[in-house]
Structure 1
Amino acid sequence: MTESNKEELSVEQREELLKVLKARFEKNMDRHKGIEWAKVQEKLEANTDKLWSLHEMERTGGEPDVVEHDKKKDEYIFYDCSAESPKGRRSVCYDREALESRKKHKPENNAIDMAAAMGIELLTEEQYRALQKFGIFDKKTSSWVQTPSDIRELGGALFCDYRFGHVFVYHNGADSYYAARGFRGSLRV
């Protein structure tokens, strides 16, 4: 889906989403110390395309929340903060090439295309590790993360989870998919 194909949220949908995001923001102040909700909301209201992306993150179970403010670019950064990999984004392989390479039992979609359609990016390994500083995420699931091109060119892809008190980074064939593996995204506003 391209930028021009994105649906516009109704006034009611925008208001409901902002209410949900504000409540999550206030409940999890440890994720965004020193950041004021009023300034985040002002940015969101000025960037309705980003609101649409946050709506998609929310709709698919990501529970997006502000985790950082990039002061140089004056952008707020949202990550999916659901306890487990977002339910509406599981059972997907890594990218379109992997999807098309499967001969049998193809998944319905892939992480890279889904993220692009939502207007978000997969977390990097570094971002995934930063997320884990705010709590414990993916105790029962795992999440695809951005994969370096040299690994991807060899047919692999990376995913992360949290087990035994540590974040683990693993590799798998990019065409693999599991009911407990999805992806987490980030969005700059």
Structure 2
Amino acid sequence: MANRNKKLSLEQREELITFLKTRFEKNLNRHIGIEWTDVQAKLEANPEKMWSLNEMEITGGEPDVVDYDDKTGEYIFYDCSKESPKGRRSVCYDREALESRKKFKPENSAMDMATDMGIELLTEEQYRELQKLGQFDLKSSSWVQTPTYIRKLGGAIFCDRRYDTVFMYHNGAESYYGARGFRGSLRV
């Protein structure tokens, strides 16, 4: 995430639009009733959101439109990569968990990375909605937003899909694994 000014060049914006449009057209089942031209107009009017989408893309998230919020007029993007994004794995849950580790600290936490990228971790409900659009995390798992009461007790939750079923599990928030990352959402 080298570009700290959170702006993309014209060339980067055009390249991102091309990637997103191609993915949109290949996965029409994810956004029935949504027109690409409307999405593109919204993206072009929100360059800071394009920066966040680019961060999702370069970390392996393969962001795509999954919904439209009639109340706010926002398009909702989720990470739609088959497995948890490779550029966001081997991270513990949050800063508190990261600082609590005495040995073998991961380089980052899911919550810090999401904040830096300008996105939010999926909730368990959003994760389950994503799974209705396809089969994701068959070999990996993804941290999801953890309720405060669980986090206060030292835990965090993650989800995956096994045996054609979506599972939610718990772990110590300080844990991290090579096959566990996180999926994010972004409203534009």
What TM-score, normalized by structure 2, do the two folds share?
Answer: 0.98
The residue that corresponds to 1:62 in the other structure is 61
Aligned to 1:9: 8
1:30 aligns with 29
Give the structure 1 partner of residue 44 of structure 2: 45
Partner of 1:134, secondary structure, is coil
Partner of 1:175: 174
In the other structure, the counterpart of 1:81 is 80
Tell me what 1:121 maps to: 120
- Using the TM superposition, give the Cα deviation of residue 84 of structure 1 relative to its aligned residue in structure 2, in angstroms: 0.1
Give the aligned partner of residue 158 of structure 1: 157
Q: CA deviation at 1:49?
A: 0.2
1:134 alignment partner in structure 2: 133
Q: Deviations over 1:37-87 (max 9, x none)?
A: 000000000000000000000000000000000011000000000000000
Aligned equivalents of 2:87 and 2:47: distance in 1?
Answer: 22
Deviates more, 1:139-148 or 1:6-15: 6-15
1:6 and 1:52 in contact (8 A); partners too: no
Q: Which amino acid aligns with 1:130?
A: E
Percent identity (aligned)? 75
Please list, as runs of the form range in 1=range in 2, the aligned pairs for 1:140-151 lying within 5 A after superposition.
140-151=139-150
Runs (4+) off by over 4 Å: none
Contact in 2 for aligned 1:92/1:181 (Cα 8 Å): yes
Aligned to 2:183: 184
CA distance in 2, matches of 1:6, 1:172: 35
User: Equivalents in 1 of 2:137, 2:183: separation in Å?
Assistant: 10
User: SS in structure 2 opposite 1:42?
Assistant: helix
How far residue 6 of structure 1 moved from its aligned partner, in angstroms, is: 3.5
Q: TM-score of the superposition, structure 1-length normalised?
A: 0.97
Gaps of 5+ in 1: none
Question: Shift in Å at residue 118 of structure 1?
Answer: 0.2
- What is the match of residue 98 of structure 2? 99
Query: For residues 38 and 8 of structure 1, what CA distance do their matches in structure 2 show?
Result: 22
**Structure 1 vs Structure 2 CA RMSD:** 0.9
C-alpha displacement of 1:8:
1.1
Name the CA distance, whole Å, in 2 between partners of 1:71 and 1:59: 29
**Cα distance in 2 between the residues matched to 1:51 and 1:20:** 12
